[in-house]
Structure formats: C-alpha cells, structure tokens
A and B are shown apart, each in its own frame.
Chain A
Amino acid sequence: MLKLNKSDTLLFVIVAAMVLLAPFILNPFPQGSSLAQMFNAGYPDLMQRFVIFGILVIGFNILFGLTGYLSFGHAAFLGIGSYSAVWMFKLLSMNVIPALILSMIVAGIFSLAIGYVSLRRSGIYFSILTLAFAQMSYNLAYSVLGNPSSSYNLTNGETGLQVYSNDPQYFASSSAPDTPHLFGLAMSDSSKLDIGSWQFTFNNGYYMSGILMLVAFYISIRIFRSPFGMMLRAVKSNQQRMNYTGLNTKPYTLAAFVISGMYAGLAGGLLSSMDPLAGAERMHWTASGEIVIMAILGGVGTLIGPIVGAGFNEYFKNILSKINDGILHQWLSFLPDGLENFIVGILHYFVGKGWHLTLGLLFMMVIIFLPGGLVEGGQRLAKLFKRKKTEDGSDSNNTPAK
C-alpha cells in the first residue's frame, strides 16, 4: 500500500489511526473527574502542538538523524515560517493556504542560504555556525526589524506580529471568518461529541495539522527508504569513502538541510494558523535546543522517534506544569503526615513551574543511558519480551529501525 513495504505500511497506518482518533485516545477519563483534569490531553491547543511539533521534529530528524549534522539553530526557520504566515494574513486574507505555502517557501530560501554557508564546515563548527545564524535572526527580529517606528518593521518586536483591523487584506471576503480559516472553515472551531459523561472535541485546526503531519511523516518514510536517504546515512557514516566513491556530499547535505528547514517553516506557519501571533522568542537558541531535546528523547534516526519525542515532551510539559502542591498532597495522603510533607516538599521543585528541571534531568538520563531514545527503550523491552516467548529469535533487520 502507498508504495511502502509491509512494516512501514503498518507503522503508517498505526500513526494515522492514532492521529485521527486522538480526540478519543487522549480523553480516556470522563469530563469533570479529577483524573481528567490531570491526564486528559484531548483539548485543541495541546493536540495541535503534538502534531505541529511532530512535523518540526520529523524534519529535524531528516537532517540530524540521517546525516548526523547537529543544527543548533533550527528554531530560526520555525520563527521565519510563523512571521511569513502572519504577513500573508495581514496582506491577503485569513485563508491558511497561501500562508502555509509562503512559510515553506521563505523558510526554504533562508535554509538554502544558511545551509549553503554553514555546511562548508562540519562537526562542532557547523553547530556553532547554525547557532550564530539563528541568534542573528533572533536579535534582528527583536531589535531593528521589530521597531514599530522604523520603516522596516517586519516582526513588531516584543509585541509580536499580529493582524490588525487596518491591515490591507486585499483578498479578504466578508463572508469568511476573521480568524485563520481553510476556505471558510475556521481553525479555532470545534465540534463536540458527548457520550455519557465523556466529551470529545474535534477541532478543525487539529485535523488540518494532523493530516499535514501524516503527509510529512509519509514523505519522511519515503525519504528514509530512498537512495537519497541511504546517501544521507552514508554521509553520517563515512564522508571520506563517499568522496572516493564519486559522490559529492555537499548537495546531499544541503538538500537535507533545506528539506528540514521547510518542514520547520511549515510547522511555524501552522503555529501562526492556529493562533495568528508570531513572536521572536520562538527563534531563541534555547528553542532550537528544545527541538534537539525532542528528537533525542524520541530516538534520533528512527522513523517514529520524532513523533514520540514531540508528543512525550509536550504531554509531560503539560501534565507536570499542572501538578501543584495540593494535588501532590492529595496523591500522597496515604503516607504519614511528616513523610508526606517531606516528599511533597521535594517533589515541589520538579512539578508546576519546575517542569523544566524534570525534563532536563530526563533528557540527561536518556543521553547517558539510552542514546537511542524512547524508541530504543521500547525495542529493548520488546526484545526482552520476545526472548521470553520464543527462544529462536533470529530476526535480522537490514533496514534502519523503526
């Protein structure tokens, strides 16, 4: 099916089913219950972030996972995509299609220029070059390009770029909604389904982003299995042998860089399509670092890893930041009071506003003990399980791991 081999098709179908049924899967607890408040993730804002960051990390993985070039400035393309999309809203109309197309094109042009220069060096020098370019973009977006009184105010600085009522919007029709929409279908609109005490929300923006993520995922599978993908893995493995095998590594790495830049641009455009407000903080280098973290958490160089990493990161960020001392006390009420207070006192630093700390620690653990990320963890578990079941496990896989 879809020109994919059996296991890839299965993987794709599973991911597609999860994306389409996410409003059910992510809302396992009935509305209003305390568990629902904590663990339900089936609301539009969060689901949108799952799939949009999924796109971003899938793209990043095509660069870092296949070629091994560690870009520490990928958030720049996300930001550029966001700004481009909002400009389309300001100039044309609130329809998301031109916005998404432009965000990919502009991010593609930027990544072509930045990649062309940065890829002249490898290793840490490449990382620092991308970091330098990204910080330049961030600083410019915050200062000169964001000064409302200057003639080239492209980003609107700290306020963030947004749509105002006096913007031209040359193609806006009066019947269309005044929020981002797809031919009249507002991104922020949802339909709700009540079954018993459960409530499920189906949001337009989520489904559009989700379908785009499936397309992005499908393309990445095809790239992984293509001769081009093999060449990218060869770049990571041995550039010397590549050069002496008559292959020019530069256009390969540059193509990977531009593709991943365009993925990031699309993700940025989608963020703006869900909420038409673009700020420079999306481009800060720590945001680039977060992209790296998501990729590593999931499993670099694997197909499903980026989606797992992005989902995991966003989900736990969400849960951890919701937990407060009251909830901790509630959970630990079975303990003797002194011990309870002591444990809550310690956990206090890891939840709520301290979620960064928990994720930072988790990230370190993964790099130290599980370089292949959660996917490798899952594979190890599966192997352990398999070995228990059958002793004749002679499964050899010559394609890269899922």
Chain B
Amino acid sequence: MGILEVKNVGKRFGGLQALGDVNLSVAENSVHAIIGPNGAGKSTLLNCLVGKLIPDTGSVMFDGQSVLGRKPYEINQMGISRVFQTPEIFGDLSVLENMLIPCFAKRDGAFHLSAFKNMLADKEMVERAQHMLEEMNMAGKHAMNAAALSRGDKRRLEIGMCLSQEPRLLLLDEPTAGMARADTNNTIDLLKQISDERDITIAIIEHDMHVVFSLAERITVLAQGTPLVEDTPDNIKGHPKVREAYLGETQDAA
C-alpha cells in the first residue's frame, strides 16, 4: 500500500478524454517519476492530485484518506506540497517572509487571526525560517525582495518553502523546465539530497530524461491519458514499448 493511491481516475474536457483509466501507486519514501509526451495528461493528473481539478471517475487516496472534493489548501494541510513549473513565490515580499509564510501555515493552520503579534518577535518561527534558508544556502539573501532573485534561487526558495512545511509528499511539476544545464544539475543534487536526508516521498513530472534517470526509483510512463508501463529506470530504458511510443520520438525531437 503506497502513500498515494490513484485508482481508475478518468477526466474528460468536453470531447477530449484527458485521462483514461489511471492507476498509480507511489511507495512511501520513494522518488517516483511520471513521464510522457506532451498531451499525455501529466498535468491533468497532477491537478487532480492537488485539488485544482476533480476527476470524473475513480479515487485518489493519500495516506488512507480521500483527497477528492477537498480544496487545494486542505490537501496541502494533509501533507502534500507542490512545486510549480515556473516558481510560484511571493514576489513582493522579502525572502525571509516567503519562508515565514509556510512556517506559520504549518503551525497555525489555514487561517489564524494574529493581528497584534509582531511577526519578527516570534522566535520559533523566525529561527525555523532562517534555518531552512541556511539549508537552501540562501541565508545571506533573507532581506532581498523575492522577485529580484535569480531563476535558480527562486526555484530553491520555492522548494525550501515546501520543505519547511515538512510535507510527506512533495509534488514537482517539471522543476527544471527552461533551466540551463548547470542549474538543472544543481536542482538534481538538491532533490537527491532532500530524498536522502528526509522521510519524504517525491513524485516528479518531468520532460527531461536526464533528470528522470538520475533521480527516480520508479517510473510511470503515461501516454494518451493512460499508464503505458510502470517499472524501474533500467527496465524503462530498455522497454521496447516505451522506446517506440515515447523515447525514440522525443530524442529525435530534442
């Protein structure tokens, strides 16, 4: 029984069957990648997991509880954090404040009216945020406006914000899309380190095969809204069906 169990999930948009009949089980503390060509339904699947979309059929269970019908913030409070394709951070706020927000959200819940406490006087929260910034090697940038960070730093900050909530499942949506090679490698190292050092499950949607094969312990290949095959990276590499349906094409294209 995995921490995330997706059973018979289907989703239609008008005449388009975006997801056919998806079954997926993500084992606890593993790194699980979901790959597939464009339009395979990867993003739709992800949106069904975090509450942005509600599937037409099937069930999504996280740690034995259904996530269906819950709002994104409720699902996050259950222990699922999401990293976006383009980093979603609070651009108008300082880096430290960016890090404080998830810390408060973790401790105080979805809504907490503390209008008279001084935010910076909350030692527990500030220390936690600063600690996480140090872990992300960003302690020196705590006073900067988050919008002024480099793209790689924005990515690190976003991942750090997710981690500061101590999620049990971290969902990443093409975390290296549009990054230069060096930044991509840094992100791979960071994710490796995270999965080695923490009790955390990582599910990653990715286009870049280099990232997938350096990180994943298991890979699910999605094509036309249904899982084609699920296996270890080595077996996926050699799988004839995958080569035919996916790898061959994209390697030519890339």
Contact = CB atoms under 8 A, between A and B. Distances in A.
Q: Does a CB–CB distance below 8 Å link A and B in the complex?
A: yes
Interface of A: 3, 5, 222-223, 225-231, 233-234, 236-238, 240-248, 251-252, 255, 259, 396-398
Nearest to B119: A227
Given A222-B116, A245-B101, 16 more contacts: A3-B121, A5-B120, A222-B118, A226-B116, A233-B92, A234-B97, A242-B101, A244-B50, A244-B88, A245-B81, A245-B102, A247-B73, A247-B111, A255-B115, A259-B115, A398-B143
Contact of B90 (A5, A238, A255, A396): A238
B110 A246 contact: yes
Nearest to B81: A244
A245 B77 CA distance: 8
Nearest to B171: A244
A245 B142 contact: no
A246 B106 contact: yes
Interface of B: 50, 71-74, 76-77, 81-82, 84, 88-94, 96-97, 100-102, 104-106, 108-122, 125, 142-144, 161, 165
Contacts of B112: 227-228
Contacts of B74: 246
A226 B118 contact: yes
A238 B113 CA distance: 19
Contacts of A229: 115, 119
B37 to A, nearest CB: 26
Given A243-B73, A246-B165, A227 B88 contact: no
A223 B116 CA distance: 6
B89 A238 contact: yes
B76 A246 contact: yes
Q: List 8 tightest A-B contacts by C-beta distance, closest first.
A: A246-B76, A398-B143, A248-B110, A237-B90, A398-B94, A237-B92, A228-B115, A251-B111
B145 to A, nearest CB: 9
B114 A244 contact: no
Contacts of B96: 398
A246 B91 CA distance: 18
A251 B117 CA distance: 18
A228 B113 contact: yes
A399 B9 CA distance: 46
Nearest to B96: A398
Nearest to B90: A237
B91 A238 contact: yes
A241 B105 contact: no
A292 B52 CA distance: 34
B66 to A, nearest CB: 18
A246 B122 contact: no
Nearest to B125: A227
A216 to B, nearest CB: 13
A236 B92 contact: yes
Q: Which of B73, B94, B117, B143 has the most CB of A within 10 A?
A: B73
A400 B179 CA distance: 31
Contacts of B71: 243, 248
Nearest to B107: A227
A252 B88 CA distance: 20
